[in-house]
Structure 1
Amino acid sequence: MKYCAFLRGVNVKGTNMKMADVCQVFKDAGMKDVSSILASGNIVFSSDKSIGDLKVILEKAMSDYFSYEAFLFVKSQEETEVFWNSIPFEKNDELHIYGFVGIPGVEKVLMEEFQKAAQAENEKAEIINDIFYWQVPKGNTLDSTFGKVLGKKSLKDQFTSRNVNTFEKVLKKF
């Protein structure tokens, strides 16, 4: 079966790694047809193992190789298609749209945090098919009140986010 692993915290805040090295870690852990998309930690691969087993195997392999606490979220090709096909916002050159990949229920936690945060004009959030989507004006992602919440250490093992264009690139790689 084909999967994509979405790694959290890759090539940000001092956690630097080459995608060629990450792909080799995946291969050494028994994954097949391994390739990366962008430098933000999106690894497409094949395996006959379950998603739960893959998460454990790959987080350990990444942690051991790179000497950091790895967090990743594995989605099947079908699940990745749902991320792309469920985007609730219209594309707009002035806005970024993000989809959040994470543990079951994290979308509700994110919505609670979003509703507590001050929002910029045109900043919105919606949950579609248990997926949290966030729209924010370009240039405001890291400065927005909600953007600052996303960096909380207490949430680091619960989700990662991707610009929705990344989902399209992953699907093309499948």
Structure 2
Amino acid sequence: MTSYAVFLRGINVGGINIKMADLKEALQGGPFTGVKTLLASGNVVLASELEPAAVKQEFETTLRKAFGYDAWVVVVTADRVAELVAACRYPADDKTTHTYLTLASDPAALDELFAAGEALDSVEQERLGPEALAWLAPAGGTLESPFSKLTAKPKYKASTTTRNLRTMIKVRDAAAALETAAG
């Protein structure tokens, strides 16, 4: 049994509203155990016998059936979430900047985003691995930041999602608790 973090793209924004209790209920009928939702932005920890690609497929299919929308998720093992958080050299809490991790199910999309970010003079970013990069945005100006606008392009919708580092720490801790409980 492997513990996973699943990050949903684009829920509770743009007209796609899903209550976390409804999400948890929809997932409990599938091949997942220990399902726990975190925050209202689509963060889930769970355990499964399935491999990551199969977790992604089953999860997206469940969301499409239960909620009737084109669902996209990024699946990362609990251990890998902990590694990504540890690898991020940017601060979790800072008064002037916020740290974000963009996660991808398609490394080529992340390669493209990273290269585009390198071309922007105002972006500080760091590649954390094939599935993640960290970047900074000015406090109070995240959505207007050039890199945020870049990640919001429709061509990245199916393969990427972004979380702030504080959220990633909460997900890491919840996934670790799930692993400890599973024993």
TM normalised by structure 2 equals 0.88
Letter in 1 for 2:128: I
Deviation at 1:73, TM superposition (A): 0.9
Deviation at 1:90, TM superposition (A): 3.4
Give 5+ residue unaligned stretches, structure 1.
none
What's the counterpart of residue 95 of structure 1? 97
Distance (whole Å) between structure 2 residues aligned to residue 25 and residue 46 of structure 1: 15
Deviating above 6 A after TM superposition, structure 1's stretches of 4 or more consecutive aligned residues are none
Q: What is the alpha-carbon root mean square deviation over aligned residues?
A: 1.4
Q: Contact 1:25–1:61 at 8 Å: present in 2 too?
A: yes
Map 1:1-174; keep pairs closer than 5 Å.
Answer: 1-91=2-92, 92-102=94-104, 103-117=106-120, 119=122, 123-130=123-130, 131-174=132-175
Q: Deviations over 1:98-142 (max 9, x none)?
A: 0111122333211122133352xxx41111233211101111111
Letter in 1 for 2:125: A
Q: Contact 2:38–2:171 at 8 Å: present in 1 too?
A: yes
Q: Contact 1:124–1:135 at 8 Å: present in 2 too?
A: yes
Distance (whole Å) between structure 2 residues aligned to residue 117 and residue 68 of structure 1: 33
Q: Contact 1:107–1:127 at 8 Å: present in 2 too?
A: no
TM normalised by structure 1 equals 0.92
Distance (whole Å) between structure 1 residues aligned to residue 72 and residue 129 of structure 2: 23
Distance (whole Å) between structure 2 residues aligned to residue 118 and residue 142 of structure 1: 17
Distance (whole Å) between structure 2 residues aligned to residue 162 and residue 41 of structure 1: 10
Give 5+ residue unaligned stretches, structure 2.
176-183
Q: Identical aligned pairs, as a percentage?
A: 28
Q: Deviations over 1:16-70 (max 9, x none)?
A: 1101111111112231111111111011111111111111111011011111100
Q: SS in structure 1 opposite 2:22?
A: helix
Distance (whole Å) between structure 2 residues aligned to residue 140 and residue 158 of structure 1: 24
Distance (whole Å) between structure 2 residues aligned to residue 159 and residue 7 of structure 1: 9
Distance (whole Å) between structure 2 residues aligned to residue 135 and residue 39 of structure 1: 22
Q: SS in structure 2 opposite 1:11?
A: coil
Deviation at 1:165, TM superposition (A): 0.9
Q: SS in structure 1 opposite 2:28?
A: helix
